[in-house]
Chains A and B, each alone.
Chain A
Amino acid sequence: MTDVAIEVRGFSQYIGDVRKIHALDLDVRRNEILGIIGPARSGKSTFLCALNRLNDLVRGSRHEGTIRIDGLDIYGPDVDVVGLRRRLGMVFATPVPLPRSIYENVAFGARRAGVRGMARLDGIVRDCLEKGGLWEEVKDRLDTSGLKLSGGQQQRLCLARILAVAPEFILLDEPTSGLDPISTMKIEESLRRLKKDYTIILVTNNTKQAARIADRTAFFLSGELVEVGPTAKIFTAPDDQRTDDYLRGRFG
């Protein structure tokens, strides 16, 4: 039996009167890269923000249905939201380094989680920057501002930064949409390496990216899951005509 890490059942998300996600059923397996593709406004990003409850920050947000992570109903009454968010690191579409040094950007989450002591922090920062594939480029200038890095480096910094919180899941919201092909390739390499230790959900506008690195791919359309399956199958023999149309560029 495959190991289901996240179990989504009948989940709908509303922002005000707008229904962003409708009656979603989806399983995420441990240590897989699940690609989520679909046209703009199909609920992909909203889905990620439902998993780490960032939607809570949006005015007028409410939901129906359940999401269980390792059996824990994350919208249950006694859930520690801060603790939950530490389990799911998120990388946003636009790289957002905080206005502080490279070192402090990476150490940020670890410090919030209560990690103290220079030696421990130094170790975490180095380890995470290495995993994020950025260490060699910045090891001599950890004190410079994260804002000074190039776009691709900033995004890898953001990836390293979430690793410092020691999450189990990595959520990526179109992480390479603003990056050049080489930076994109570096991020994808990092993700392939990270897969053995983390469960990764990758939302992407670039269907080829999903084809390259996702183990399974889900196709979202207008807030609904059209289908999900092994990436090779989705891209070569999808069950649903709409998936085929989208992949062939007939709409979206």
Chain B
Amino acid sequence: MKRMGPRLEEKAARIGLWTLTLVTVAVLVFIIVFILRRGLPVLSLEFLTANPVDMGKSGGIFSTVVGTVALTILAILIAAPFGVGTAIFLTEYTWGGPVTRVIRFGAECLAGIPSIIFGLFGFILFVTKLKFGWSILSGGLTLAFMLLPTIIRTSEEAIKSVPPAYRQVSFSLGSTKWQTVTRVVLPSALSGIVTGVVLSVGRSIGETAATIFTAGSALRMPTSLFSSSRTMSVHFYILAREGISMSKAYGTAAILIIAILGINILTYYLMNRFIRKYSS
């Protein structure tokens, strides 16, 4: 086969990569526009603040918003400290021997498990064995398990990207290991760690399979950690699946998308301010 000239090759690569990028972005935009065009007309203050009536055929989605927020906060409150702690331990407190590799491999395998399996696991362990029932507690714990691998992985990468020289400097200035980790390593790794946590928030808000088995699908306003609660994603699933109300389903989907976009944008804004303050 005859080789292309370098100029032609460069041009072909450029056009090829452009096309790929364009298709990706186009699909993304299409999905968002598709949902928003059907969902936005349904949205109103009442839709957000009223509880569902008649299985969700009318009324709003307030109790599902509360359920989603409660589950997500609980999941992050559990997963973030455990995940970041594990990442710190793996990167700063071990030499990277076989034990570390086994833990890391385990975490990576966990990341590949379908969420519905986590749902089943949560159902068996928390809902039935530990008798938490279908509840925010069961759902939050299950979500936390599901998020752990991602948080560990992203935190580890963030911590590893902190220049080794920073640690040397910190130690040579008479810091303890703990001071080095908390005063030098973590601040430098923070933006990466927070990015991982925010991605996890997004996943947790959007998760359906794991929560339907563990938090249940009650439409009542949750009153405690032991209340069963329906998340927005589960609500959307049930509305669409059982043909209760497609317009309400799209409304819910629109809220989900806006919420996740909003969280991402806010985080990156805060992160940029943080980075500007500390590194330039």
Main SS of chain B's interface residues? helix
Q: Which residues of B contact A147 (CB under 8 A)?
A: 279-280
| B278 and A52 form a contact (CB under 8 A) | no
| A96 and B163 form a contact (CB under 8 A) | yes
Chain A interface residue number, banded: 20 to 34
Closest Cβ of chain A to B87, distance in Å, is: 19
- B105 at interface (Cβ–Cβ under 8 A)? no
Q: Please tell me the number of chain B residues within 8 Å of chain A, measured between CB atoms.
A: 23
- B155 at interface (Cβ–Cβ under 8 A)? no
Measured CA separation A124–B188 after assembly (Å):
25
Measured CA separation A112–B187 after assembly (Å):
16
Stretch at the interface among A22-30, A82-90, A237-245: A82-90
Measured CA separation A105–B3 after assembly (Å):
56
| B279 and A52 form a contact (CB under 8 A) | no
| B173 and A59 form a contact (CB under 8 A) | no
Closest Cβ of chain A to B164, distance in Å, is: 9
| B168 and A92 form a contact (CB under 8 A) | yes
Contact of A96 among B96, B165, B179, B278 (CB under 8 A): B165
| B173 and A145 form a contact (CB under 8 A) | no
| A165 and B174 form a contact (CB under 8 A) | yes
| A54 and B174 form a contact (CB under 8 A) | no
Q: Look across to chain A and name the residue whose beta carbon is closest to the beta carbon of B96.
A: A59
Q: Which residues of B contact A54 (CB under 8 A)?
A: 168, 171-172
List B172-192 residues whose CB lies under 8 Å from chain A: 172-176, 179, 183-184, 187-188
Contact A92/B278 with A54-B172, A57-B171, A82-B175 known, Cβ cut-off 8 Å: no
- B166 at interface (Cβ–Cβ under 8 A)? yes
How many Cβ-Cβ contacts under 8 Å join chain A to chain B? Answer: 68
Measured CA separation A48–B96 after assembly (Å):
26
| B278 and A100 form a contact (CB under 8 A) | yes
Closest Cβ of chain B to A44, distance in Å, is: 16
Closest Cβ of chain A to B143, distance in Å, is: 34
Q: Look across to chain B and name the residue whose beta carbon is closest to the beta carbon of A112.
A: B175
Q: Look across to chain B and name the residue whose beta carbon is closest to the beta carbon of A52.
A: B172
Contact A145/B167 with A112-B173, A161-B173 known, Cβ cut-off 8 Å: no
Closest Cβ of chain B to A191, distance in Å, is: 18
| B165 and A112 form a contact (CB under 8 A) | no
| A112 and B183 form a contact (CB under 8 A) | yes
Contact A113/B174 with A100-B278, A145-B278 known, Cβ cut-off 8 Å: yes
Measured CA separation A86–B173 after assembly (Å):
6
Q: Which residues of A contact B168 (CB under 8 A)?
A: 54, 57, 92, 96
A selection of 30 A-B contacts at a CB cut-off of 8 Å is: A52-B172, A54-B172, A57-B171, A82-B175, A82-B176, A85-B172, A85-B173, A86-B173, A88-B172, A89-B172, A92-B165, A96-B163, A96-B165, A96-B166, A96-B169, A98-B169, A99-B187, A99-B188, A99-B278, A108-B170, A108-B183, A109-B173, A112-B173, A112-B175, A112-B179, A147-B279, A147-B280, A148-B280, A158-B169, A162-B173
5 nearest A-B pairs in the assembled complex, by CB-CB distance:
A86-B174, A109-B173, A90-B172, A96-B165, A99-B279
